[in-house]
Each structure stands twice: as C-alpha cells, then as structure tokens.
Structure 1
C-alpha cells in the first residue's frame, strides 16, 4: 500500500451519530449543502435520526449543529476512526512530554541562582558585586562562563581572598571563598592596673599574693570594682607589682519559669489533603491544588527531585489536666539545671531558695541560688 492509499484509508473513516433536533430536515439539508457526506440516514422519529458521516467532517458537523437547539451522541465508530482518535491523543501527549523535558534541559543551561559561601571578613554582597562587574548574574548562560578565569579574577579583585572555587550545580552557581589569615594585632601588656571584680557579690574572704587588698569581708562590690591594687608597700616606700590573689565572695543566681497545669494533646483524625508542585529554576509550578478547610493541621513536605508533595493532616487538640505536684517537681529540677549551666565549675553552692506563686492554671516558680566563688579577674 503506497502513501496515498494509506492516507485515504483514514480519510474515509466514518462515525455513526444519533441526533435529536426539532429542525431535523433543515439540519440535514444544511449538512448536505456544506459538502458533508451523509450515509444511511435512519429516521427514528420526527425529530431524531441515526446517520453516518466521515470522520474528517466531524468538526464541521459540530460547528453547524451548535446553531440548532438539539443534542447528539456518537453511537458507533469503525476501527479506522478509533485508531485516528487514539493516535491523535497519544501524539499530543508525547509532544507535550518532549516539550516539557526540552524546556527543562534549556532552563538548566542558565544560572538561576548564585550560592556564595564566605568566612568572617568577606561578605557575600562584596563577591556578588564583583560577579556583576564580570557580567555574571541570574539568567547568565552557563557556557559563557570560564570558571578557572573567574576564580583568578576574583582573587585579583579582592586582596583578602586566598582560595576560591566556582562550580556549577544544576541551575545554581556555587562559589566557595577562603580568606587569608591575617596575623593578630599585638597588644601592649599594661601591668599598671588593679585586679577588679568580674561580677557582683558580697566579700567573704580575701587572699593576696601581690598587691594591696582594697576590700574586706562583708563589703558589697559591683562588677568592675577594684579588689586588689597594683601598688604594694606603705607611705614611705611603695612599688608597682602585678596584682595577684583570690577574692572569695557570695554570689547570687536567679531565674524563673512558668509551668501550666494543663497540657494540649494533638491527635490526627486520619483525614488529609495534598498539593503537588514542580520546582523549575526556583519557581514553583502548581500541578494539583486542594482547598485546606482544616482548622488545625500538621504539614509535611516530601521532595522527589523537582517534584514536591505537600500533605496537610487534620488534627484535633484535647486539653488534659496534669498532676500539680509532679509538674512543679519536674519544673524545679529543670530550673536548677538551667541555673547551674551558668555557674562556674569552681563555685560552691551554699544555699537555695524557691518561691512559688499560683497564676490561674499556671504556677510561677522563682529560684535563687547562693554560691561562693572567686570573683577576681
């Protein structure tokens, strides 16, 4: 069978239609005037009939029929028309898939985001400005970028860069910067200074190895007050030393916590909805969007490459009463551990005071811990 015979085979495919319209005679005459090949008309009633037309005329038939007040349905197809319909739909699907993946490949040839990783003294903003001067920004064609030349250019333009890596990753441009390690600034050691308090406290004991004690037991000092002077000796003979000693003082650490007597439990009902997206070049394209009517919900996001599924699970909250004694005891333990984390390991805990105040369905717990420690610095 040659090509022309093959095309004619599908060209002559037919459809069988059942039509119902008041102006039946007028419709049939109009179809014939418009060169629509009608075969085997079988009238069922004054306003209905069964007829056969060629598949190629079906679109023209619909345009004419829409001008009349009636209805039609396809009640029969020969194998050739079924094949044409299937091929047409499959070809459209294949073309759509091909266009989609070609678009992804094309978009992947451009830089759509720039990820800059630096250390302490160089900001990503500085590097981004250097890139703009070189014509590198979002939307740049990746094949126009010479990565090795760009690395050398960045090191030349910024004196603090010791090493740089520029590499593509998908539609991202990854830039990793390492800074030059500058020598520390030299600080002159000035020994002409007193030993001062590093925190508030009440002096309990003072031991001096060098210098003169400026405080005694019972004195209240603030952070920054002098404790031991760098001057040693008497009025007739004095000299400067590096002050050394131990100044023990009572210090106080305080914190508070509010604990509820009721707790909310969240339970899932089993109902959920899901939204589906495709991420292309940093843009989220919605594939399926469901209306979220849940008042309370848990949101879980699942990523499968460029495909993202968001799931919303409906939850209900129930409030339950807790045992007051257990709640308070647990809270006191947590508060004590929290305060201890701020206390020096060389400190000794001398006393502990706890105040509790009821506030509706909650209890405010205030804890004060007294320690003894060396406050000299």
Structure 2
C-alpha cells in the first residue's frame, strides 16, 4: 500500500457515478465510504489527484483534499516552513550585522577645532559610517588622535548602539597676544544719526548729530596733525551710538484672507532605514490643499540597543482659507498688529526703542500701514587698516 496518500472528499448528487468513472479511468481508490447522502470519501495517491478534475466536471461534483498523509507531505511542509524560518534567520543576521556597524558619529566638546578635521582623523583610524565596531579599538584611536591633533587635550570614544560618540576636551592654548598698537579703525555697522561718541584711543571723525553710512570710519586709528598730515597709526578704541530705524509696511484688504484649521488631519508613519529606504507602517496620501506639517522622529531600539533606523511620523493638519469682511478700523488694527510682530523680530534685543511712528493711508477697499521704530544702539565695530 502506498504510504504517501491523500484523503479525498467528493460532493454531488451522484457521487457513485464519480467513483465508477474514476475506477474505469485507472485511478486507484481505496477505503471508499459514504459520509452523507451527497458526500463520499476515499484514499488515493496524490500523484493521480489532478486526473479527478475532469471526472468531477463531467459528474458535476466538487472534489477537495481533506488530508495529506505520508513522509513526502511532511517533508514538503517542513521545507515550506524551513524557507520561512530561514528568511527570519537571515533577517535577524542582517539586523545583527547592521547593529554592529557604525551608522552615525556624534562629536561633542569641540569649540575651536574644525569638525571636519576630527572626521578625517577618525576615518584614518577606521571609524567611519559602515565600519564594524568589532574591528575598532577605541583606546588606540584615542592615542593616535591626540598625537595627530595638537589642539586636543583628551578624547574618549564610546558606542551607543550604532552611534559612535566622540567626546572632545580641547587643549588650553596659550592666549593670543594682541598687539594693542595694531592699526585699526572703528567703523559704522549701519547708517544712523550719531548720539554718543566715546573715543578712548584714536581720532574721532564724527560728532553727535552727524549722519553716518554703513562702513564709514567713525574713529580713525591714523592720528593726523592740524594740517591733516598723518603722524602715526594706532589701534582705535571706543564705542559709538546712533539713532537708527526699522520699518514694516503692510497693505490689508477689507476682504481679509486668513487660514483656519478644520480639525481634519492625516498621519503617515514609516521606517527610514540607514540607506534612506522607506518602509511604510501607515501609508497615506496628503490631498489637503492647505495644511501645516508636523514631523516627529524617533530612533528605534532593538533588544535595548540603539540603531540608525528611524521611525518618522508625519502629521498633516488641514486648514482652509477664510475671508473676513473688515471695516477700516479693524483693517488698521490688523495691520498694526502684523507690523509690530515683524519689527519685534527685527530689532536687536540690546537696542533701546526711542519712538514708534505709525502712518495710516486709507485706500479703496484696503488700508496701508507703515510702522517705523526709531532706536538707539551701538553701531561701531573694529576693522584692520589695510
């Protein structure tokens, strides 16, 4: 008896005719039994099962395999599972290899040393994106880098998952000797009207009330005599303050357009691999005409270890354009508010606001607002004499 066989069930109004035709056509059936009025079951070789389909069509019966028996079927099932298990193993092997590679380098503590110099030395010592951590000897790299970069006092290299953390302690270098007699001028950093001149060293060329332009010499390092002939060059020292100004101009239509959030939003979530491939966990297509986009990034940890795989959540918040009909007073107030906000960002924090002037022009269906802030601030900076 064939040890590799299948249990088959046929269903139809005339299952006996099906059995007879199968036997007539040389199909070996055994252990034939009636299950119900319309169903019969039997055993047969799996190799002959395909021959039953033509007979099933002729007799209007349905045929199905109820069970597969024998070592061949067991091996096939195991083979299918083996491919699945092998795939999982390969995935974890790749993941393991990736988690043992350097995918990002973080440098901290360098204030004077150029970051590119550090990267170049790390590369020379085998630390670069894609290098295996097992092949890196951090202590040896630290010694080599301290020797190579004179500005380094100490360096420590550690690993946090797939990230190489480089901590820098810079050497305290001898202070730079400043030549106080190095010829320099004090120049204007912007245009304005002078309010105060404090020339500690050098020759003041401007006085209170003078209008100056950007880059104009305010305190000269070249000392001259009464006939304007140079006597000597020195380092000019001093501060100069001036009145200067900032303005913002806006036109506000009485049909004022603004945006309002609808409450509708779309979330798109995906994994970003080290080679910038996206694997979408929650795909979506943004069809909003107007929207604000918020992006959140989170590094994925596997078995407690950090990786260079990033989970990104993009939130799209829909907004629609609205039109509000304003009267002239409301339009003026809106223009003043917008220009005030703009000027607050423009004016330096250490500047003293002396005056605020607002000019309003009413036109057909709109208003024009000119907002001018007059400030007093330091406008002087040192520049070498060529």
Q: 1:361 to 1:63 in 2, by over 3 A?
A: farther
Q: 1:26 to 1:129 in 2, by over 3 A?
A: farther
Displacement of 1:113? 1.1
Displacement of 1:281? 5.2
Report the aligned-residue RMSD. 5.4
Q: 1:334 to 1:154 in 2, by over 3 A?
A: same
User: Hey, what's the Cα distance between the residues in 1 that align with 2:204 and 2:295?
Assistant: 64
| TM-score normalised according to structure 2 size | 0.62
User: SS at 1:103's partner residue?
Assistant: helix
Match of 1:95 in 2: 85
Q: 1:65 to 1:182 in 2, by over 3 A?
A: farther
Are 1:214 and 1:228, in contact at CA under 8 Å, matched by a contact in 2? yes
Are 1:14 and 1:53, in contact at CA under 8 Å, matched by a contact in 2? yes
User: Hey, what's the Cα distance between the residues in 2 that align with 1:73 and 1:109?
Assistant: 53
Q: Does 1:181 align with 2:181?
A: no
Q: 1:78 to 1:264 in 2, by over 3 A?
A: same
Match of 2:384 in 1: none
Match of 1:353 in 2: 357
Q: 1:189 to 1:93 in 2, by over 3 A?
A: same
Match of 1:224 in 2: 216
User: Hey, what's the Cα distance between the residues in 2 that align with 1:108 and 1:285?
Assistant: 17
Match of 1:167 in 2: 158
Are 1:275 and 1:310, in contact at CA under 8 Å, matched by a contact in 2? yes
Identify which range, 153-162 or 94-103, moves more after superposition.
94-103
Q: 1:76 to 1:200 in 2, by over 3 A?
A: closer
Q: How does 1:1-377 map to 2 (within 5 A)?
A: 14-18=7-11, 28=22, 32-33=26-27, 39-40=32-33, 50-54=39-43, 57=46, 60=47, 63-64=50-51, 77=66, 95=85, 99=89, 102-103=92-93, 106-108=96-98, 110-117=100-107, 119-190=110-181, 199-203=190-194, 214-215=205-206, 219-222=210-213, 223-226=215-218, 251-258=243-250, 261-269=256-264, 272=266, 274-275=268-269, 277=271, 284=277, 286=279, 288=281, 290-292=283-285, 294-296=287-289, 303=298, 305=301, 308=311, 310=313, 315-321=318-324, 323-338=330-345, 340-341=347-348, 344-345=351-352, 349=354, 351-356=355-360, 365-371=369-375
Q: Tell me which of the two structures has the higher relative contact order, counting C-alpha pairs closer than 8 angstroms and 6 or more residues apart.
A: 2
User: Hey, what's the Cα distance between the residues in 2 that align with 1:157 and 1:242?
Assistant: 37
Are 2:360 and 2:370, in contact at CA under 8 Å, matched by a contact in 1? yes
User: Hey, what's the Cα distance between the residues in 2 that align with 1:124 and 1:102?
Assistant: 35
User: Hey, what's the Cα distance between the residues in 2 that align with 1:161 and 1:324?
Assistant: 60
Q: 1:97 to 1:313 in 2, by over 3 A?
A: farther
Identify which range, 155-164 or 133-142, moves more after superposition.
133-142
User: Hey, what's the Cα distance between the residues in 1 that align with 2:267 and 2:376?
Assistant: 60
Are 1:257 and 1:335, in contact at CA under 8 Å, matched by a contact in 2? no
Runs (5+) with no aligned partner, structure 1: 1-7
Q: 1:123 to 1:309 in 2, by over 3 A?
A: closer
Are 1:203 and 1:221, in contact at CA under 8 Å, matched by a contact in 2? yes
For residues 333-354 of structure 1, the C-alpha deviation after alignment (integer angstroms, 9 at most, x for no partner) is 3245345535634xx71x4433
Runs (5+) with no aligned partner, structure 2: 302-308, 382-386
User: Hey, what's the Cα distance between the residues in 2 that align with 1:299 and 1:194?
Assistant: 49
